[in-house]
């Protein structure tokens, strides 16, 4: 096969539920694999927060929506001779298929490399998949496809309830569900048909209680096949793989089962025609030899990223090489560096992955795990035994649980009935309820009946409970044994005793070959380190951000990777500690050594002791780093950059406020109120609206704006019932003001920074706001002066982020983050610099200029949030000071509107309306009215009678709902919080995957920006702007 | 189960403490490791492990218990022989697991079979030691240091201990041709594959001469796998050379391959620590296709010691000869285990190719 000269790689766009940073990792690996061959690469991906959209791995980067129309523009401009579709999740595949079907690829002579489009269709169309499997003799569950409601009902009758309803061409199991009777089926059909792009569903035999097993397969174009990993899900069939707790290697399969399904997985890959990587999911009966193939993903997936990190086998890299025509055994095993990529890893350790949910941020969301993916991130624990790996993973979730026992749930008062309900409904982190149940005397059989989890795993949980309770009774004389099984000192509730960890390598070969592996984990279950440590080297340990959740996502991974690269200049060795399998920073190529382990004081000091590390960088890691800053200092470690005491001042509301007052810097008035009377006294003084939140929570959780006495009372009642006895922080909320931010790097005296503003007014969390650079305002100079004053006063060294509310031209400081911020990849890339690089420089050198330097803005850059409303079933969609988006996208342009329209369209499911717009609201009414005017040229515009916009046709609630259901509305524009009146409308729109604009100001700007679509957009490479 | 501490003593002086399970007994043998992650019922009953103490690298062993033996036409479907063949078992974590088809736990099985085990051991450390210093003789059990006596694995004829004493006939209803299987310690997986081809099998003791074998008028001959040092098997090498003259279709597997290679004059090397895994690559040198295969061998012929054209399969990592093919002699051999068990189903075609010759 002749090697292509220029390859177009499609990314996956914004981070959303079911499409997260794993595609940054796989895309980055693929780009690297292509670059090694001397092939030029062009990347289309609007996700500006990713590592891959830096020019580190791709030659040319286009921040544009991943749709047929936009990618066509890039093809016309770049004329690549090949396209790779397997590294950008479902978004890339879907767009690739469209490009092929509309013959755009053929017209421009762009060859699909790796798995071809016909193979993609065989894998993804339910009907074709079934046909292919039947022909290949691979067993599949009884099922029938349906294109109409009538067909679906007929199929259900033939197969018999309960049934599983699945949707074609869809990621994250969206729209798929279990129906136990005809009534449930009918209720779901509408939603299911609304969400598939091909209008085809599958009615399938529901395999209740069956085990789910997944294989990761690599196949070259000469039909050599290796099965790289086998993942066993603890949760049974019916729970989405993204929602499942997963262990690898598989623990309960015997040779016959393992090999039968492995052979079937190979048959699947062969029959579909995979070249590169795919995964194949199986259902296995727990009481017989029966198994079925369920589905295959003909591309890199979330589980393949997990499998790569779990085994040390670089699936994306190998897959990219296979796409170029290499044979498997012609590629080197880059971990062992002694063997080829044609082998199947053997693990002498256990890996457990647990999803990270974030339901607390949403109102009314149903807290149960099921067929649809709703988790936001995941964590992966590695240990020398299952118990150790599992308990590490539980701590990595960072939900305040110290392990399987002795946490909030373990100590809670729960009745037998409540426990049964939690287990039956499969509440998030069900295993904590299982541990609680065992403590309360449940048997393994009882818990198995409720959860359908293999008794093998339930027994392990029960044994951990017993071990802990026994230890507690005996004063933890079994301390060493407990440590071997992953109990932390916190979990045991005792002071620190010993910390006898050993460091082991992940070498893909269970130690069989001497590997030069730098991929490491620590364990208490071992007697020997795998390597010797050169303590003479000047080393830096960089902490990663851990598992993703709302507010912590790929942007922090960009910071960590940037930090590692920048730190090389100043250190002899830069090591990373992180535990998120979806990230680039946990790629063992990134650092000298990768410790895949917990990010907490116990682990950090253990590693530091082994390695002779004295310095730690926490500022790339988001809040998780700041949370352990003091503990690390106490452990004798030096934190590079800003001192922990300064961090403490910035994070401690009263200390920070005092500092601002001393420096004469304006801030919104605020107070700590211990009771309702004190709140009312404050409100009397400053007037409504006020911003209010419980004093002990972080990251905007439960933060709310109260506009009236009524809203205030409702909020206080809510706080009071949930968090009795806690004080609240209440501050003056400046209505109709603008929010602006600075992302900066400083050497303590001078600053390099980027000024940004939000389109939405203050009160919308900066992670949910649409952010624009440059900020053209008279206030910027004052903002810069404030930044300089704070940098000097707090001796800031390195990165920081400063947030303002601008009211009547005056900036008021609302928040200072002494670390890399969420927006830093955006601000950096918008002016073509890397603030993290400057942060490192600022720590060690003087910048050599004075004052605040802002690099020239040569273009407008807009960042839009990506929400996952449709996946968060039941959640009320609205914007508030509490962050709810899961990701972001951005675009460059020659004007605000040029950039905005591309950015907004890059977030799914956003589209320009063609049929009808429903627009209504009680606030930002003037903006909504302008938006309505703007939108009239694209679609019919309607409003709701009880929140109407003047001059627009009114609909009753009933009619509006009817129109939504019948497909007559394809954009909803509204503002603020009005759940009492419009919960049903917003929720229905989300369920139907209709684009939502939840802020009037944004509605006004976005609707105005649509005119650029006809006036002509700019399509340029990122650096050409 | 009481938690008795026992020791694992290595020839190089190293001693490791762990917890005893299985039978209370002292075991002696060559310490080897396998990286297979499951399939312990098959591995422990593989007669090729006779004389060896096995370290398993996957931490949790015993997870799904031990199944009830299942036989088809006298051939075991879920074990490789009637008994545990390893002398002792070394693991990290012992699990008292069970599943729908299991009859007992791993611990119960070892007790019943009189085989000692040790758990709570840093198996990775052992693997690295074996990898660096080579396989070595070891003693497992409750022994005082003064009573330690090591046996030299390479000097003992283990085949004698595991080969059948009397011929066994597996009559096939199809009454097709007969195949003589020379039992050096045969795995039932091989019997199952051959029986599945439709032949009647005659499993004969390893000491049978060519004349005795030919008395059965076989349509093909298979030389099985087996334990120990192939260089001790002079008589069998001679038998093979004699058989070669009949131009019978012949298949040699593992030890059978080594005997054939020795008879053809190639150098058999004792490997530093051998291949014991189910994830090993072999490349078919005829067409460039590659397969994932099961290996269990401590001796080998290296590609550098053999003409390239005779090599059928080669391990791309360390260039051991993993199979040879001589159409003119009607001889094919594999160093790996095409029957797997435990292991992949990728190379079952070897048996189909043999069938083409046998007819």
pLDDT, average across residues A759-788: 96
Q: In the prediction, which pLDDT does A790 show? A: 98
The answer to the question of residue A865 being in a domain is no
**pLDDT the model gives residue A588:** 87
CB contact under 8 Å between B281 and A504, yes or no, is no
pLDDT higher than threshold 80 for residue A190 = no
The mean pLDDT value of chain A amounts to 93
The predicted pLDDT at position A174 comes to 58
- Same domain for B99 and B165? no
Same domain, A201 and A344: yes
Q: What is the pLDDT confidence band of residue A713, given thresholds at 50, 70 and 90?
A: confident
What is the sign, positive or negative, of the torsion defined by CA atoms of B69, B74, B77, B79? Answer: positive
- The interface residues of chain A toward chain B in range 206-245, judged by CB-CB distance below 8 A, are 222-227
Strand positions, DSSP E, A677-826: 690-694, 704-706, 728-732, 738-746, 751-761, 771-773, 798-807, 810-817
Whether residue A57 is predicted with pLDDT greater than 90 in this model: the reply is no
Is the per-residue pLDDT at A170 higher than 70?
A: no
A147 pLDDT more than 60: yes
pLDDT surpassing 90 at residue A716: no
In this structure, of A426-430, A576-580, A699-703, B195-199, the range with the lowest mean pLDDT score is A699-703
State the nearest Cα–Cα gap between B142 and chain A, in angstroms. 21
How large is the average pLDDT for residues B312-316? 96
| CB pairs A-B closer than 8 Å | 150
Check whether residue B219 and residue B302 sit in a common domain. yes
Domain termination residue (choose one: B125, B155, B185): B155
Query: Based on the domain organization, do A488 and A512 belong to the same domain?
Result: no
Read off the pTM: 0.95
Return the SS3 of A215.
strand
Here the CATH number for the domain that contains residue B10 is 3.50.30.20
Q: What is the mean pLDDT of the segment spanning A341-356?
A: 96
Contact A514 B132 (CB under 8 A): yes
Selection from B275, B225, B222, B228 nearest residue B250 by Cα: B222
Q: What confidence score (pLDDT) does residue A589 get? A: 86
Does residue A350 sit at the B interface (CB-CB below 8 Å)? Answer: yes
Query: How far does Cα A712 stand from its chain's mean position?
Result: 33
Q: What is the mean pLDDT of residues B165-175?
A: 91
Same domain, A156 and A183: yes
Residue A385, exposed/middle/buried by CB under 10 A (0-12, 13-18, 19+)?
buried
Sorted by sequence, the CB contacts under 8 Å of residue A89 that are 6+ apart come out as: A12, A19, A22, A23, A171, A299, A300, A301
Residue A390 tokens, joined: 């599992």
Q: Quick one: A308 and A235 in the same domain?
A: yes
Q: Which of B131, B155, B179 is the last residue of a domain?
A: B155
Predicted confidence (pLDDT) at residue A517 exceeds the cutoff of 80: yes
- A166 pLDDT band, cuts 50/70/90, is confident
Q: What integer is the mean pLDDT of B293-298? A: 97
pLDDT at A724: 55
- Final residue of a structural domain among A96, A121, A146: A121
Q: Which of A855, A854, A858, A857 is nearest to A788 (CA)?
A: A854
Query: Residue B121 — pLDDT band, cuts 50, 70, 90?
Result: very high
* A191 and A131 part of one domain: yes
Last residue in a domain, options A603, A621, A641? A641
B303, B187: one domain: yes
B-chain residues within 8 Å CB-CB of A526? 122, 124-125
Which pair of structure tokens corresponds to residue A116? 């071809």
- Structural domains counted in chain A: 7
d(CA A204, CA A1017): 45
Residues B147-155: contacts with CB under 8 Å, at least 24 apart: B148/B9, B149/B28, B150/B11, B150/B28, B151/B28, B151/B29, B153/B29, B153/B30, B153/B51, B153/B52, B153/B228, B153/B229, B154/B228, B154/B229, B154/B270, B155/B229, B155/B232
* A977-1023 confidence digits (pLDDT tens): 999 999 999 999 999 999 999 999 999 999 999 999 998 999 999 99
Q: Annotated catalytic, B339?
A: yes
pLDDT tens per residue, range A220-279: 999 999 999 999 999 999 899 999 999 999 999 999 999 999 999 999 999 999 999 999
Whether A422 and A522 map to the same domain: the answer is: no
State the average pLDDT over residues B330-349.
97
In angstroms, rounded to a whole number, what is the distance separating the alpha carbons of residues A364 and A705? 19
Q: Is residue A1019 part of a domain?
A: no
Between A64 and A872, the higher pLDDT residue: A64
What confidence score (pLDDT) does residue B227 get? Answer: 98
Contact assessment for residue A343 and residue B283, using Cβ atoms and an 8 Å cutoff = no
Q: Are B236 and B139 part of one and the same domain?
A: no
Please identify which of the residues B254, B275, B295, B310 carries the catalytic annotation: B254
CA distance A892 to A902: 8
- A225 and A334 housed in the same domain: yes
- A172 pLDDT above the threshold of 60: no
Instruction: Provide the residue range defining the domain that includes A711.
Output: 669-732
CATH code of A163's domain: 3.30.470.20
Structure tokens at B243: 């058989």
Decide if B292 and A227 are in contact by the 8 Å CB cutoff: yes
Residue A727 has pLDDT above 80, yes or no: no
B291 plus B214 within the same structural domain: yes
The answer to the question of residue A966 being in a domain is yes
Q: Are residues B141 and B191 in the same domain?
A: no
**Residue A859 predicted with pLDDT over 50:** yes
Say what the pLDDT of residue A202 is. 83
- Of A227, A254, A511, Cβ closest to residue B127: A511
A785 pLDDT higher than 80: yes
In a domain, A893, yes or no: no
Using a CB-CB cut-off of 8 Å, the residues of chain B touching A510 are 35, 57-58, 124, 127
- Considering only residues 397 to 456 of chain A, which have any Cβ-Cβ distance to chain B shorter than 8 Å? 456
Residue A442 pLDDT: 98
Query: Could you tell me the pLDDT band of residue B213, with boundaries at 50, 70 and 90?
Result: very high
Q: The domain containing residue B52 runs over which residues?
A: 5-155
What was the pLDDT predicted at B1? 46
Q: What is the average per-residue pLDDT within B234-243?
A: 97
* Arithmetic mean of pLDDT, A674-703: 80
Residues B340-348 have a mean pLDDT of 96
Residues B227 and B250 placed together within one structural domain of the fold: yes
> Residues B27-62: pLDDT tens digits?
999 999 999 999 999 999 999 999 999 999 999 999
Write the pLDDT tens digit of every residue in A814-828.
999 999 999 999 999
Q: What pLDDT, on a 0 to 100 scale, did the predictor assign at position A192?
A: 66
**pLDDT tens profile A616-666:** 999 998 888 888 888 999 999 999 999 988 988 998 888 999 999 999 999
Output the pLDDT for position A692. 86
Give the confidence band of A695 by pLDDT, cuts at 50, 70, 90: low
Residue pair A482/A467 in contact by the 8 Å Cβ criterion = yes
Identify whether residues B140 and B250 lie together within a single domain.
no
DSSP string, B138-190: EEEES--GGG-----GGGS--HHHHS-SS-EEE--TT---EEEEEESS--HHH
**A254 close contact with B: CB closer than 8 A:** yes
| Rounded Cα–Cα distance for residues A857 and A836 (Å) | 18
The rounded percent of chain A whose pLDDT value lies above 90 is: 80
Residues B185, B47, single domain; the answer is no
Q: Kindly state whether A701 is in contact with chain B, defined as any CB-CB distance less than 8 angstroms.
A: no
Identify whether residues A139 and A97 lie together within a single domain: no
pLDDT band at A198 (very low <50, low <70, confident <90, very high): very low
Band (A811; pLDDT cuts 50, 70, 90): very high
Looking at the structure, do residues B250 and B286 belong to the same domain, yes or no?
A: yes
pLDDT band at A845 (very low <50, low <70, confident <90, very high): very high
Kindly report the CATH number assigned to the domain that includes residue B193: 3.40.50.880
Same domain, B151 and B164: no
Q: What are phi and psi of A446, to 5 degrees?
A: -60, -50
Q: Is it the case that residue B82 has pLDDT exceeding 70?
A: yes
Residue-level pLDDT at A894? 96
- Express each pLDDT in A881-936 by its tens digit: 889 999 999 999 999 999 999 999 999 999 999 999 999 999 999 999 999 999 99
Q: Give catalytic status of residue B337 as yes or no.
A: yes
**Distance between CA atoms of A860 and A894, rounded to whole angstroms?**
6
Residues from chain A contacting residue B127 (CB–CB below 8 Å): 348, 510-512
Number of compact structural domains in chain B: 2
A427 plus A462 within the same structural domain: yes
Best A229, A254, A269, A462 member to test B by mutation, with max B CBs in 10 Å, is A254
Segment A712-726 mean pLDDT = 71
The pLDDT of residue A189: 82
Regarding whether B279 and B195 lie in a shared domain, the answer is yes
pLDDT at B310 over 80: yes
Residues A589 and A560 in one domain: yes
Are residue A852 and residue A796 in the same domain, yes or no?
Answer: yes
């Amino acid at each position: 096969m002749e090697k292509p000269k220029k390859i177009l790689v499609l990314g996956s766009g914004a981070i959303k539920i079911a499409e997260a940073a794993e595609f940054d990792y796989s895309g980055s690996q693929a780009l690297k694999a292509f670059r090694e061959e001397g092939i030029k690469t062009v990347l289309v991906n609007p996700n500006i927060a990713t590592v891959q959209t830096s020019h580190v791995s791709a030659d040319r980067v286009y921040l544009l929506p991943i749709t047929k129309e936009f990618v066509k523009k890039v093809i016309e401009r770049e004329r690549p001779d090949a396209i790779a579709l397997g590294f950008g999740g479902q978004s890339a595949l879907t767009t690739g298929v469209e490009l092929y079907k509309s013959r755009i690829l053929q017209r421009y002579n762009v060859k699909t490399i790796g798995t071809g489009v016909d193979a993609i269709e065989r894998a993804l169309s339910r009907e074709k998949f079934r046909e292919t499997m039947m022909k290949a003799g691979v067993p599949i569950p009884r099922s029938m496809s349906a294109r109409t409601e009538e067909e679906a009902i007929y199929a259900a009758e033939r197969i018999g309830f309960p049934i599983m309803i699945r949707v074609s061409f869809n990621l994250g199991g969206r729209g798929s569900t279990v129906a136990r009777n005809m009534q449930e089926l009918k209720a779901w059909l509408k939603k299911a048909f609304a969400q598939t792009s091909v209008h085809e569903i599958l009615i399938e035999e529901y395999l209740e209680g069956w085990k789910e097993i997944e294989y990761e397969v690599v196949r070259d174009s000469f039909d050599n096949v290796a099965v790289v990993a086998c993942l066993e899900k603890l949760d049974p069939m019916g729970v989405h793989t993204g929602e499942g707790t997963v262990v690898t290697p598989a623990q309960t399969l015997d040779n016959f089962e393992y090999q039968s399904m492995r052979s079937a997985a190979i048959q699947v890959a062969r029959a579909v025609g995979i070249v590169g990587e795919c995964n194949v999911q199986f259902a296995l009966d727990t009481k017989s030899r029966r198994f079925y193939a369920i589905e295959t993903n003909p591309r890199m997936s979330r589980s393949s990223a997990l499998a790569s990190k779990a085994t040390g086998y670089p699936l994306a890299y190998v897959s990219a090489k296979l796409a170029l025509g290499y044979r498997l055994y012609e590629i080197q095993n880059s971990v062992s560096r002694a063997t080829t990529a044609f082998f199947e890893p053997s693990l002498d350790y256990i890996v457990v992955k647990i999803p990270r949910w974030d339901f607390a941020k949403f109102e009314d969301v149903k807290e149960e795990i099921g067929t649809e993916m709703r988790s936001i991130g995941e964590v992966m624990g590695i240990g020398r035994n299952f118990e150790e790996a599992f308990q590490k993973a539980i701590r990595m979730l960072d939900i305040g649980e110290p392990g399987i026992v002795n946490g909030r749930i373990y100590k809670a008062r729960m009745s037998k009935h409540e426990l049964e309900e939690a287990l039956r409904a499969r509440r998030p982190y069900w295993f904590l309820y299982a541990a609680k149940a065992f403590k309360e005397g449940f048997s393994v059989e009882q818990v198995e009946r409720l959860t359908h989890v293999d008794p093998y795993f339930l027994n392990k949980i029960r044994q951990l409970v017993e071990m802990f309770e026994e230890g507690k009774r005996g004063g933890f004389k079994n301390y060493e044994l407990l440590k071997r099984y992953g109990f932390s000192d916190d979990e045991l509730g005792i002071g620190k005793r010993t910390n006898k960890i050993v460091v082991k390598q992940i070498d893909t070969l269970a130690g069989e070959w001497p590997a030069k592996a730098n991929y490491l984990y620590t364990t208490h279950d071992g007697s020997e380190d795998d390597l010797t440590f050169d303590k003479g080297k000047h080393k830096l340990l960089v902490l990663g951000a851990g598992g993703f959740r709302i507010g912590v996502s790929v942007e922090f991974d960009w910071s960590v990777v940037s930090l590692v690269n920048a730190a090389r200049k100043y250190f002899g060795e830069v090591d990373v500690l992180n535990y998120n399998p979806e990230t680039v920073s946990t790629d063992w190529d990134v650092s000298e050594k990768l410790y895949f382990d917990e990010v907490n004081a116990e682990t950090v000091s253990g590693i530091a002791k082994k390695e002779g590390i004295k310095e730690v960088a926490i500022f790339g890691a988001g809040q998780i780093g700041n949370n352990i800053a003091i503990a690390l200092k106490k452990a004798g470690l030096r934190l590079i950059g800003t001192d922990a005491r300064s961090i403490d001042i910035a994070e401690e509301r009263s200390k920070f406020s005092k500092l601002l007052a001393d420096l004469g810097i304006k801030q919104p008035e605020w107070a700590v109120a211990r009771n309702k009377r004190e709140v009312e006294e404050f409100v009397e003084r400053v007037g409504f609206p006020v911003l209010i939140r419980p004093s002990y929570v972080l990251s905007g959780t439960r933060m709310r704006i109260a506009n009236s006495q009524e809203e205030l009372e409702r909020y206080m009642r809510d706080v009071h019932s949930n968090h009795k006895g806690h004080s609240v922080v209440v501050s003056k909320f400046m209505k109709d003001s603008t929010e602006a931010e600075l992302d900066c790097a400083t050497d303590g005296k001078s600053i390099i920074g980027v000024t940004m503003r939000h389109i939405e007014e203050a009160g919308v969390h900066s992670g949910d706001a649409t952010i624009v650079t440059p900020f053209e305002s008279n206030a910027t100079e004052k903002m810069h002066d404030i930044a300089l004053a704070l940098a000097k006063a707090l001796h800031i060294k390195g990165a920081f982020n400063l947030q303002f509310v601008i009211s009547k031209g005056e900036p008021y400081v609302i928040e200072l983050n002494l670390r890399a911020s969420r927006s830093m990849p955006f601000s950096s890339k918008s002016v073509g610099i890397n603030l993290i690089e400057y942060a490192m420089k600022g720590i060690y050198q003087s910048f050599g200029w004075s004052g605040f330097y802002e690099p020239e803005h040569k273009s407008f850059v807009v960042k839009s949030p990506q929400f996952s409303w449709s996946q968060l079933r039941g959640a009320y969609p609205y914007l508030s000071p509490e962050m709810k988006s899961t990701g972001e996208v951005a675009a460059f342009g020659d004007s605000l509107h040029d950039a905005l329209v591309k950015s907004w369209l890059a977030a799914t499911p956003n589209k320009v309306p063609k049929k009808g717009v429903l627009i209504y609201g009680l606030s930002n009414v003037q903006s909504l009215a302008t938006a309505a005017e703007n939108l009239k040229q694209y679609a019919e515009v309607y409003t709701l009678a009880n929140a109407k916009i003047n001059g627009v046709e009114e609909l009753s609630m009933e009619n509006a709902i009817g129109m939504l259901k019948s497909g007559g509305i394809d954009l909803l524009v509204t503002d603020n919080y009005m759940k009492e009146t419009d919960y049903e409308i917003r929720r229905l729109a989300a369920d139907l995957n209709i684009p939502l604009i939840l802020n009037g100001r944004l509605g006004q700007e976005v609707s105005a920006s649509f005119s650029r679509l006809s006036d002509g957009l700019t399509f340029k490479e990122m650096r050409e702007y | 189960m009481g938690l008795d501490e026992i020791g694992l003593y290595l020839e190089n002086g190293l001693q490791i403490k762990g917890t005893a399970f299985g039978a209370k007994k002292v075991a002696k043998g060559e310490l080897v490791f396998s990286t297979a992650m499951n399939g312990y019922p098959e591995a422990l009953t593989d007669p090729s492990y006779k004389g060896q103490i096995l370290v398993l690298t996957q931490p949790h062993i015993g997870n799904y218990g031990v199944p009830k033996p299942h036989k088809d036409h006298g051939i075991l479907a879920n074990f490789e022989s009637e008994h545990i063949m390893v002398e002792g078992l070394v693991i990290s974590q012992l699990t008292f697991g069970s599943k729908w088809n299991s009859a007992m736990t791993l611990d119960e099985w070892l007790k019943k079979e009189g085989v000692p085990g040790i758990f709570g051991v840093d198996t990775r450390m052992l693997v690295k030691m074996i990898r660096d210093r080579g396989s070595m003789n070891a003693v497992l059990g409750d022994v005082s240091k003064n009573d330690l006596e090591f046996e030299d694995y390479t000097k003992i004829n283990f085949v004698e201990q595991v080969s059948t004493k009397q011929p066994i006939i597996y009559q096939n209803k199809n009454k097709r041709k007969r195949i003589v299987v020379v039992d050096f310690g045969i795995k039932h997986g091989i019997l199952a594959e051959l029986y599945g081809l439709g032949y009647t099998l005659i499993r004969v003791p390893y000491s049978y001469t060519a004349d005795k074998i030919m008395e059965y008028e076989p349509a093909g001959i298979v030389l099985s796998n087996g334990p120990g040092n192939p260089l001790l098997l002079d008589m069998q090498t001679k038998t093979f050379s004699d058989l070669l003259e009949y131009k019978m279709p012949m298949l040699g597997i593992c030890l059978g391959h080594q005997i054939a290679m020795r008879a053809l004059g190639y150098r058999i090397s004792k490997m530093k620590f051998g291949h014991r895994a189910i994830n090993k690559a072999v490349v078919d040198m005829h067409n460039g296709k590659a397969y994932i295969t099961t290996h269990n061998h401590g001796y080998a012929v290296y590609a550098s010691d053999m003409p390239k054209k005779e090599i059928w399969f080669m391990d791309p990592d360390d260039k051991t000869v993993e199979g040879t093919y001589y159409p003119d002699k009607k001889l094919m051999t594999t160093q790996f285990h095409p029957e797997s068990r435990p292991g992949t189903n990728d190379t079952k075609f070897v048996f189909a190719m043999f069938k083409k010759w046998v007819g």
